[in-house]
Structure 1
Amino acid sequence: MHDFSSYDLIIDARSPREFEEDHIPGAVNMPVVNNDEYAEVGTLHRTDKMGAYSIGVRYSLANIARHLSEDLPKYPKDGKVLVYCFRGGKRSKLWVDALETIGYNVQKLPGGWKAYRRWVNEQLETAPTKFEYHVLSSPTGCGKTRLLYALREAGCQVVDLEAIARHRGSIIGAVPGTPQPSQKYFDTLLLEELAKCDPTRPVWVEAESKKIGNVQIPTAMLDSMRRGKTIRVHADMQQRVELWRQDYKHFEEDPEGLLERLRFIRSLVGGKEFEEWEQLAAERKMPELFERLMRNHYDPAYRRSILREYPNIDASPLIELHDLSPAGLLEVAKKIRAQYDRKA
């Protein structure tokens, strides 16, 4: 597979819908046909192959002309250009022919996005196994994500799986206004993050279950994390509630929305417990509701889950967090780096 960093411009010639599902990091979508045009050509292709190609070429020439006028001037004329489409076929050829005619230094990606996707899948079977992982584990609200940020600031190697997934990893973990990436693009972004890491140094991650929202962590990554060094993180309940009030402010302002997310676990916690949640929500007693959710659902659920994934977790080192502010966590992170990441 190409060294994509060597190109000044990578053109994804596929439709915007295909690009949104997954694309090479750093690629710019300059489609030869848009979503509607792509669908029209595909429908006609079933009954009139030549007619479909005729319409497709007309659309393509018009769109490429627009890209040449509006988009290409943003990039150096003497730069190195890579073009790809789904299989490296007709859409790539139309772009390459136009750019070569003008005089650009342009290459076509053999096999297109499909070959790239196959390469990503192959890499994710081996790339995660090259690293030693230090895994932060704690019940929800103890600040391990913030500690992960502090570790990065302190100079440690960090892979933030929840940031890549754009999700906090629980049934209420969706980030308002931020859709999750597709599974394919999550894989792409994860591989990109791993490629930045030095295998001679540990990589810090949070303990996660198989799924983060709607995306799944590759098996090789999960297995490698389970073989890593686990470090427990703990904070008192008052701090945990305050952290939830900050991270889940949208639910503090919309307790009904919170209960709607939790409704499908009613059978797990029991009707009486759920009614207690409803009462606290109705009275807008959000600190009390958050604490009850953690004590009566999240903490026991975490305990069951972590013991399945990390049976020896109780023997792991424990770090007490007394100050979840950025400054307080940075001081802790520096001490952790000195103790566990001496090569940093």
Structure 2
Amino acid sequence: MIRTISINEFFLLSESVPLADVRTPAEFAHGHIPGAFNLPLFSNEERVLVGTTYKQVGREEAILLGFDLTGSKWSGFIKHALEVAPGKKIAVHCWRGGMRSGAMAWALNLYGFEVYLIEGGYKSFRRFALNQFLQPMELLILGGRTGSGKTKILHELALLGEQVIDLEDLAQHQGSSYGTMNKMIQPSQEQFENNLAFQLKDINRAKRLWVEDESRNIGKVTIPTPFFNQMARASLIDIHVELEQRVGALILEYGSLDKDFLTACTNRIHKRLGPLQTKQAIEAINEGRIAEFIRIVLVYYDKTYQKDMAKRSGEKVLRIDIISQETAENAKQILNFTNTIPATAQA
């Protein structure tokens, strides 16, 4: 049986159904619905051939070429689908719900699968995703200078039952020049948006949602404008942590990183850091004086943070001093502090 459903209806299904994206590997890599698996009808090169035939010769010739190209692949498609969906219940989509997903749905149905065909395909999901950023949210921003432990506190707040989205995890970047930590690979801009929208769809918008204070750009990806504008208008809990505690936390994070990586990242901010400070920071890196390197670059990052804070409405910035070195205790302190603030101050 083939049942055509909207992307909204798919997300509301009472059971988890594997989602097959039959677009090419290149299309899938550029952006896909989170959780989907790639079951490409055509390779990247084959899709170009079929598309060119469609435009230059005609629809029927393109269909015949498509069958020629996929003729020996159909058993492989079905075997792959069985591996992912052994219960023979599966959803399928292509770019806009056209011939590719239709052909795959037909073959899987013929074999005995119960198939959900996503109406409008990936294009409909993109509309759904972009719409998520337009919806009003009760955002609360967790701010603080570099090394304050904001990300760890966010995770503790989640354990305490708060709604949390970790933007840096979605971006696979920690926000600074050193943000990839020499290991993280960032998603495409489109995939970052998809991942964020996928989490936002499950948020209770009547309750507050915590996110970390971020610049518009997190590494190479950009926070969607409507969502970033809501972040800019939201109240910010500004946590203050003593310098030495921040330095100690950053030593644990950056102390084991490759010296060449730290040097390259430092050189990228040399214009903002200044020639003397850049030279001193790199010398400290090479000599293993990580604490000194961190103190030097923190001067720049602290100034940047102050400038960003000055752009916010003073009544929207709520300061709290953090003294514990235990993340769980800090999360509880922040939560208790936040719960004493009138709702009007958080709006």
Provide TM-score, normalisation by structure 2.
0.86
Q: Deviations over 1:147-192 (max 9, x none)?
A: 1111111111111111111111112111433211111111111112
Report sequence identity in percent: 29
Aligned to 1:335: 336
The 1:196/1:111 distance shift into structure 2, 3 A limit, reads closer
User: Could you list the runs of 5+ residues in structure 2 that have no partner in the other structure?
Assistant: 1-5
- The AA in structure 2 aligned to 1:210 is R
Q: 1:291 maps to which residue?
A: 295
Counterpart-to-counterpart distance in 2, 1:144 and 1:284: 26
Deviations 1:2-29 (A, max 9, x none): 3223262221001122112211222221
In the TM superposition, residue 338 of structure 1 has moved relative to its aligned partner by: 4.6
Higher mean C-alpha deviation, range 327-336 or range 16-25: 327-336
Give the equivalent residue in structure 2 for 1:205: 211
What's 1:157 paired with? 163
Aligned to 2:237: 231
Check whether the contact 1:32–1:59 (CA below 8 A) recurs between aligned residues.
no
Correspondent of 2:251 among 245, 249, 268: 245
Worse overlay, 315-324 or 183-192: 315-324
Partner of 1:218: 224
- Taking structure 1 as the reference length, the TM-score comes to 0.87
Task: Give the CA deviation at 1:278.
Answer: 2.3
- Contact kept, 8 Å, 2:20 with 2:93, in 1: the verdict is yes
Q: Could you tell me whether the CA contact under 8 Å between 2:18 and 2:84 is conserved in 1?
A: no
Indicate yes or no: 2:288 matched with 1:273. Answer: no
Secondary structure of 1:233's counterpart equals strand
Partner of 2:17: 8
Matching residue's letter, 1:160: D
* Counterpart-to-counterpart distance in 2, 1:63 and 1:326: 53
Distance 2:295 2:18 in 1: 51
RMSD, matched Cα: 2.6
Q: Tell me, in whole angstroms, the C-alpha distance in 2 between the residues paired with 1:24 and 1:235.
A: 39
In 2: Cα distance, 1:336 partner to 1:157 partner:
17
Instruction: After TM superposition, list the pairs within 5 Å mapping 1:1-344 onto structure 2.
Output: 1-2=6-7, 3-5=9-11, 6=13, 8-42=17-51, 53-77=63-87, 79=89, 81-124=90-133, 126-127=134-135, 129=136, 131-251=137-257, 254-295=258-299, 297-308=300-311, 310-312=312-314, 316-333=317-334, 335-336=336-337, 338-339=339-340
Task: Give the superposition deviation at 1:122.
Answer: 3.0
CA–CA distance in 1 between the matches of 2:254 and 2:267?
17
**Using the alignment, how far apart are the partners of 1:175 and 1:256 within structure 2?**
12
Is contact 1:165-1:212 (8 Å) kept?
yes
CA distance in 2 between counterparts of 1:9 and 1:147 reads 33
1:71 shift after superposition: 3.3
Question: 1:46–1:201: structure 2 CA closer, same or farther, 3 Å change rule?
Answer: closer
Cα distance change of structure 1 residues 220 and 275 upon mapping to structure 2, 3 Å threshold: same
